[in-house]
Amino acid sequence: MEVTFAVADPPPPPAPLTWGQHAIWAAIHRTVPNDHYFNLARVVVPPVKVADGLSVDAARTAVRAVIEANPGLRTRIAPGPRRRVEQAGRVPLAVAELTDGGGPDAAAAALVERLGREAFDYTDEYPLRPGLVVDDAGRVARIVLVLCHLAADGAGADLIVGQLRLALLRRTGRPPGDPDTLAAFEESAPGRTVSRAAVSHWLDGWRLLPDGGMVARPVATEQPVRWWVGALTSRALGLAAATLARRHRTSSSAVLLAVSGALIAAERGVTTTVLPVIVGNRFQPGHRDVVATVAQEGLFVLDHAAVGTVGELLDLARPAALRAYRAGYYDQRALDAALERLDTGSRPYCCFNDMRLTETPPGAPPAPGEIEAARTTTVFGWQPPQAKVACRYCLHLTAAPEAGPGALRVTVTGDTRYLPPRRIEAHLRALESTVVAAVAGSVPLATLTP
């Protein structure tokens, strides 16, 4: 089965990649042959108004409408690399039938795994692999979308989900933003000015890197599957981070960025954190509603040599985080060239990625003892390892509502040659214990040990 699309507009000539696409294109090539790591997946539950009778044809029509509305979903990569937008084509549509062995969510998860296990063919394949979970009456119970990261980042994927839900109701929303508009700004003189300012910030921070980077010393024999993924699910961490954010007039993301960075620095034996952080960039003009990859790395730089406590560290976290966010929109090619000319021989080899689109408002402060009591429900576990990741330490942060209001899930993907499994777990537990302790009283920064 397939989705056939056609757009009346004349086909545009191949165009430059956007800055966000250049950034993810570089990351993809650093991760080959494990680049399916960057695939994004979303599972859509049909709206209640149509859930009882959503036919395969109606679901396919809605998917087609979304593809036709978004040039990024009709884009393949041409030599250069450049974007080549197609005005007509066919996208395979996978169909999975519900069985007696499981419900629609289990079937959708299996379909996500099947559609997402291989990297996209960036030159010949469209950047969307849709699928349907169909019950024995022929009704669509779930719609699965697996996306190439060149077409969308996490926020862009959620925009697609919103468009699809409207299309299932035979409605349309605000017209999506145009990647060509972004590319035109990025090629303009004002765009180059923005890029130069960001590159300057990066160069200043790069000069502060210790020899070999923030995660520099091999300490163990790597595991057969080299990159392990430890996951900590903690309501206590979420409550404590929100409490500290309110106290220090910053965000819980900045709290966790500062503390995780200080833990990395402590293990490295340095007093300056230099940590790339994924910046969504949706606050940039014209970025909010565009289905595209606009997220890029910013550089979080914080010298804490003269800082005595975690509380003092967090007072500095907000301005340091804002500087990183402002430096997260730039021409990746210009940054790469500037860093090559600088030639320090070091890279951070780490990153921080808060994947939440928004933070939940903090609400009322936790009751006395509530945070410590919540620690009894903290769970640590291992997720499937990765064959290759172009990083030695990658922290990902998501909400975990199934673990209680305000709960967070923090994963660290670690190169086991540099971060053996015991240190991955120790780092995550130290992150929780440090943030929780900082709520209750003063925590000397010198005592941080991962």
**What is the C-alpha R_g of the chain?**
23
- Determine the pLDDT at residue 53: 85
Place 373 in a pLDDT band, splitting at 50, 70 and 90: very high
What mean pLDDT is predicted for residues 44-61? 90
Phi and psi torsions of 168, nearest 5°: -65, -30
- Determine the pLDDT at residue 355: 93
**5-37: per-residue pLDDT in tens?**
999 988 889 999 999 999 999 999 999 999 999
Instruction: Answer yes or no: is pLDDT of 173 > 90.
Output: no
Instruction: Answer yes or no: is pLDDT of 260 > 80.
Output: yes
Which residues are paired to 278 by β-bridges?
297
Structural domains of the chain in order of their starting residue, each with its CATH number: 2-183 (3.30.559.10), 190-447 (3.30.559.30)
C-alpha to C-alpha distance for 423 and 416, rounded to whole angstroms: 9
Return the ∠ at Cα 130 (arms to 139 and 180), rounded to 5°. 135
CA distances for 150 relative to 5, 245, 338, angstroms: 20, 33, 24
270 touches 251 (CB < 8 A): no
- Determine the pLDDT at residue 100: 67
Place 447 in a pLDDT band, splitting at 50, 70 and 90: confident
**384-400: per-residue pLDDT in tens?**
999 999 899 999 999 99
What mean pLDDT is predicted for residues 228-246? 96
CA distances for 433 relative to 208, 352, 378, 424, 442, angstroms: 28, 19, 11, 14, 13
Instruction: Answer yes or no: is pLDDT of 450 > 80.
Output: no
| Percent of the chain with pLDDT strictly greater than 70 | 98
Secondary structure element (H or E) that encloses residue 263, with its range: helix 252-268
- Determine the pLDDT at residue 122: 96
Query: For residue 6, what is the DSSP state?
Result: E
C-alpha to C-alpha distance for 429 and 435, rounded to whole angstroms: 10
**80-104: per-residue pLDDT in tens?**
999 999 999 999 999 999 876 679 9
C-alpha to C-alpha distance for 194 and 191, rounded to whole angstroms: 5
What mean pLDDT is predicted for residues 161-183? 89
